[in-house]
């Protein structure tokens, strides 16, 4: 494993750098120390100061190498909040993509097994896990989870399933076998039809508390004239369908 | 510390019980073992089976003793997602209330210091932390954080500040001193005016990326007639104002 | 045609009465004159005063006899605003229901032909048109417009089509033949699937500016603590799909 | 009064022309007849056909000369729907601006007196009324309605007041004197604070059914992948505050 990258920040300038790296900037050359410490000040050869900073969760969204549109911090938060992903959880994730969700759940203490069908994307996701400092708690598997279900079902059940793939219904159908009692399923999809299919599959599989949420967010503007919602709102990202493994025997 | 409570679940029935407890239900008496294990089956004296379940994050919302309206899982998630609260973080929280947010951040690996002005509420919050299994990582202090700011400022800076109190602006004003570089501030308020004051204070204090988000959520109904947003939507909870400690020197 | 009904109002009390009617109320008996004038004061036999008032558009929503959920004033307004229904327009409406939309368009000056499949509902709608004072400008036809399309197509084209029926797509398909150049089509449906079918049909038929809008409304609360969206928002009513007859030749 | 302008339309091409005008286009020269009839076909000298079309309400939004951002058709519709503006109504409007609302209410049959403080804007609004064909039913007065209140109060009361000005509260305070029993007030404002002041003034003045609505609209996208809200939603326009003149005596 390579040494951990950090951010060098000065006002609006923000560089992602490796320990020992030499970086040319418009303010002069920065020599990154071998062991940069958060809060440490580093000067360019022209004397301008940058500060070392650790990456936080929302920074992953901006600094991960992208293989598609990464999940926005809001939606990462909704998945974590609604499923309660936390320390000690085992999570099965499908549709790794850029890996922001997997990394964020790992940073919240979960052990994550994530499937990415595209080998190139899977490679990028592994590098992103390194950047996020979670290589030890995220296993990025190359392949389609639906083709690996028997392997997955042979292991211990998961506390949470998070799905962002077109074949999510095939995994949802096995939800009760994949999840611990009371474990949560979260499926993310931009489309009504896909969400509907997930809901119908979840109900048919005997999952409970099945529900689909749409989230509309707007920024609020505060200026001298007054306070109002932004005229440039945040658009639709996806519907989030949640369901839960039933607890104990479901009496007939 | 008392032994950890667990849930006993059968279909729609769900009881929060202590190890060793004897519980009368409409299906008969349940004898809770001294060391109940998740997934274990327990029979009433009439032979009906319940299953043992650990509490997950969203269960805290339902099973915490309430001293006011607890933060809903969605908003807990938004705070965690937008601030990236994760393992190893130090968090300062004010306005503990029922304690759902503090407990959830602790479950995501953070060490949380939380202030609750009302001594009785603080006591309940401590019991709730026990129920959530996070007594070791959440310190519930009785009092008003604004009256204890010098003490707090004398310690190490925090990665995240989360505020849900009327005097939030007084803490926001000290944000740059309380936060590490790049640390996040999240202030939750139901009202436009309070959010505005927080935004103005944050800007004046030199915090960056200051923004207020409102979140509108609706459930989607899928039935035989078709798919549509629920006619009974989730109402307004609060505005979430976010800001960040500037990184490095802020050049004049 | 019977003499026009009016409202008698005193504070929160509001009665819909006919000229010459005698009405018992908790404040005493009201003798409605044969020709009540808006603004006129009428006393009960106990001396409490009521004021005569004409029904306005939003009053129709409350005082029409209902044969189903009537369209809310907001949606009536959206149809009128987006299609520009106004004086001199010829409108074809299908799915009369309670008749609020037909009556409102007539009050805005349009001549409306409206189809209601259920004979009993059609009868109620005719009475409602009388109450709204628009019997001369709304023709309520009993039947399904799709079974009467040849008749309708044999007449002059319409400025606006408004549809709130399950078989709306069959009418939409004939939109270009039913509408004048630049005429508008508005289809109201609670469901995504139905709206989708309407959109696809409208596109296939060569209608232009095809779009579906969803409207989310919330009341804002202003009290001593501050200003915020109501925690009891207005729910989903329906999607509104709009389209327009193409102008002039559509070059190939 | 000049002869009425019409639209000449061919596919995406749309020209606003005067009777008798000669217009050069990329498809050749168009000679507009002295009395163009809707539906009539006119050829360019190169033989390409255009069709004559009357302006409808939503066309006013696009073809009025602008002196600011005109009210969008949706908001025009909300005002008309929530106040029931219709044939025979007397309306007092302040803050004419481009004049879309005044013209639309006139097209729905109302007689509108509208105040525009800026003399140049008032002149443009008068020309726009001509274009909309409502010069006989809209009187555009140059000035501030609050400085002309005694004159206005000396005349007959209005059925509806529509206000889109910074000093709306001064008019709202006189609402009960300006409105007929049961008459409606509609105030449009982008800002929370202004809306709050209007609400407080309306309540203090004894108006009833006082409420503020915010409207969020999104377009829905239907494509081969599925159906979903647009990722480019319509932004905030304004809050709409509604109130009503109390009916009859308000018992103490």
ipTM: 0.92
D235 CB within 8 Å of a chain A CB: yes
Q: Is the dihedral of CA B30, B31, B37, B40 positive or negative?
A: negative
Instruction: For A181, list phi and psi in degrees, rounded to 5.
Output: -55, 130
Interface check for D84 against chain C (CB to CB < 8 A): the answer is: yes
If one compares C141 and D252, the residue with the highest pLDDT of the two is: C141
The helix/strand/coil state of C211 is: strand
Beta bridge partners of A219: B213
Residue A1 touches partner D, C-beta closer than 8 Å = no
Provide the residue-wise pLDDT of chain B in tens; the chain has 252 residues.
456 899 999 988 999 999 999 999 999 999 999 999 998 999 999 999 999 999 999 999 999 999 999 999 999 999 999 999 999 999 999 999 999 999 999 999 999 999 999 999 999 999 999 999 999 999 999 999 999 999 999 999 999 999 999 999 999 999 999 999 999 999 999 999 999 999 999 999 999 999 999 888 888 888 888 888 887 655 788 899 999 998 654 443
Selected for mutation to probe chain C from B226, B230, B231, B235 (highest C CB count within 10 Å) is B226
Do the Cβ atoms of C227 and B190 come within 8 Å?
no
A211 CA: distance to closest CA in chain D (Å): 17
Is residue A215 less than 8 Å (CB to CB) from chain B?
A: yes
On whether the CB atoms of residues C186 and C85 are closer than 8 A, the answer is no
The pLDDT tens digits for A110-144 are 999 999 999 999 999 999 999 999 999 999 999 99
Is C236 within 8 Å of B228 when comparing Cβ atoms? Answer: yes
Kindly report, residue by residue over A169-225, the tens digit of the pLDDT. Answer: 999 999 999 999 999 999 999 999 999 999 999 999 999 999 999 888 888 888 888
> pTM value?
0.91
Predicted local confidence at residue A220, as pLDDT: 82
Q: Are C225 and B191 in contact (CB < 8 Å)?
A: yes
Give me the sign of the Cα torsion angle C224, C226, C231, C235. Answer: positive
pLDDT in tens, B17-29: 999 999 999 999 9
Q: What share of chain B is helix, strand, coil (3-state, %, to 5)?
A: 30, 35, 40
The minimum CA-CA distance between D145 and chain C, rounded to whole Å, is: 25
Those residues with Cβ within 8 angstroms of residue B224's Cβ, 6 or more apart along the chain or in another chain: none
Give the three-class secondary structure for B36: coil
Q: How close A221 gets to chain D, by Cα (Å)?
A: 10
**Residues of chain C above pLDDT 70, percent:** 95
Give the distance from residue A190's alpha carbon to the nearest chain D alpha carbon, in angstroms: 6
* pLDDT score of D79: 97
Q: In this model, does residue D46 exceed pLDDT 80? A: yes
Residue in D72, D217, D229 to test binding to A, most A beta-carbons within 10 Å: D229
B229 touches chain A (CB under 8 A): yes
Instruction: Note whether A80 contacts B: Cβ–Cβ < 8 A.
Output: yes
Per residue in C34-61, pLDDT tens?
Answer: 999 998 999 999 999 999 999 999 999 9
pLDDT band at D12 (very low <50, low <70, confident <90, very high): confident
Q: Which helix (H) or strand (E) holds B123?
A: helix B119-132
pLDDT mean over D187-198: 94
Tell me whether residue D251 is exposed, middle or buried, using C-beta atoms within 10 angstroms of its C-beta: 0 to 12, 13 to 18, 19 or more.
exposed
Residue with tokens 């008392």: B2
At residue C228, does pLDDT exceed 90?
Answer: no
- Inter-chain touch C80–D83, beta carbons under 8 Å: no
Option in B86, B104, B214 nearest A107 (CB): B86
Residues A71, A105: Cα–Cα separation, whole Å? 12
Q: Under an 8 A CB cutoff, do D57 and C213 touch?
A: no
């Amino acid at each position: 494993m390579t040494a951990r990258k950090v951010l060098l920040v000065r006002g609006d300038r923000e560089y992602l750098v490796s320990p020992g790296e030499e970086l040319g900037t418009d303010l002069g050359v920065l020599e990154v120390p071998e062991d940069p410490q958060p809060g440490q000040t580093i000067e360019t050869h022209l004397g301008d100061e940058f500060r070392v900073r650790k990456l936080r969760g929302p920074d992953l969204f901006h600094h991960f190498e992208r293989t598609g549109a990464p999940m926005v911090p809001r939606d990462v938060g909704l998945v974590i909040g609604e499923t309660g992903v936390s320390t000690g959880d085992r999570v099965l994730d499908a549709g790794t993509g850029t890996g922001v969700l997997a990394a964020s759940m790992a940073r919240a203490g979960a052990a994550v097994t994530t499937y990415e069908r595209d080998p190139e994307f899977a490679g990028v996701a592994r590098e992103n896990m390194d950047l996020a400092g979670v290589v030890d708690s995220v296993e990025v598997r190359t392949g389609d989870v639906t083709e690996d279900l028997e392997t997955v079902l042979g292991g211990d059940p998961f506390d949470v399933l998070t799905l962002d793939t077109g074949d999510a219904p095939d995994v949802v159908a096995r939800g009760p076998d994949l999840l611990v009692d009371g474990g949560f399923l979260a499926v993310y999809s931009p489309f009504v039809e896909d969400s509907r299919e997930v809901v119908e599959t979840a109900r048919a599989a005997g999952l409970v508390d099945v529900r689909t949420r749409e989230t509309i967010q707007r920024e609020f503007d505060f200026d001298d004239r007054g306070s109002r919602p932004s005229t440039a709102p945040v658009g639709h990202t996806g519907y989030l369908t949640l369901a839960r493994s039933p607890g104990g025997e479901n009496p007939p």
